[in-house]
Amino acid sequence: MNETFTGRTYLVTGAARGIGRELVKMLAAEGAEVFFTYYQEQDKVDSLLDELGPLAANVACVEQDARVPEGAQRVVDLAIERFGKIDGLINNAGYKVDRSFVMMHQEDWDDQMNINLNSVYHYSRAVAYHMMRRKYGRIIVMGAVSGSLIAGPYQVAYGASKAGLIGFTKSLAYELARFNVTVNMVTGGMINTDGMKFPEDIRKVWAEHIPLQRLGNAPEVASMVKYLLTPMSDYITGQNFVIDGGMTLLGFTKIENMLPSYNKGASNLGQTI
């Protein structure tokens, strides 16, 4: 247990797998209370709660589709009802669809915006007044290098949704600073989680093109989020922390050349984070 986190309550969206799952485990192990959301992955939720063991007593969750606007206020109300307050919000829910711009359907665009960008707006707005009244709060936004730092092939919608989070983070950080509420962004590069749908041979090729010669992992990203929830980060707001093994140092814009036979411009390669 860690005194820094004991008595603190955090809301994590989209935490049944990957980085969100790792973060729930980390925070619970430090003595924090955690409320998280998931969508259509009850088996993964059950395995997470089993893995937590006795720590699960301080963890609660609810199924909620991130695309439903009114769902955010419902989740925030449930979290406050269960634990009395929310000290930090981690906007982790996200989804990626790779599709050629000219082959894109309206629902593809809408889904990317609703899950990756609009849900961050709705959840952040739902907790803002609560944090402002308490004169304390931490809001974390999970970004991606695609769109914000590099051009991802067939990722116009995904890139636009993630790039929009940079402006959101900076503007909200400025607005909430006088209430002692910080807003920061954690941007991951190629993170090797169970949500990554590409086969092992493609992951190996990717790793060879990254300066640190490997993919990142969920604990590394979750650890950065955890740091931003500690008092050590009290003087940090409106910043974007990039965890990518150096892949964006030289642009890394030729990803499509590393996907022979996997991406022909009209594919639908989904990746859930």
| Active centre residues (catalytic) | 158
> How far apart are the C-alpha atoms of 120 and 11, rounded to whole Å?
12
> How far apart are the C-alpha atoms of 156 and 240, rounded to whole Å?
21
Q: Which two tokens stand for residue 256?
A: 């499509």
Q: Which two tokens stand for residue 113?
A: 């915006």
Run of H or E including 95: strand 95-98
* Phi, psi dihedral angles at 169 (to 5 degrees): -60, -50
On whether the CB atoms of residues 15 and 37 are closer than 8 A, the answer is yes
Amino acid at 246: G
Kindly tell me the number of DSSP H helices and DSSP E strands found in the chain: 9, 9
Q: Which two tokens stand for residue 251?
A: 């642009």
Q: Which two tokens stand for residue 271?
A: 């990746």
CA atoms within 13 A on the CB side of 133: 7
> How far apart are the C-alpha atoms of 74 and 126, rounded to whole Å?
9
* Phi, psi dihedral angles at 158 (to 5 degrees): -65, -45
* Phi, psi dihedral angles at 128 (to 5 degrees): -60, -50
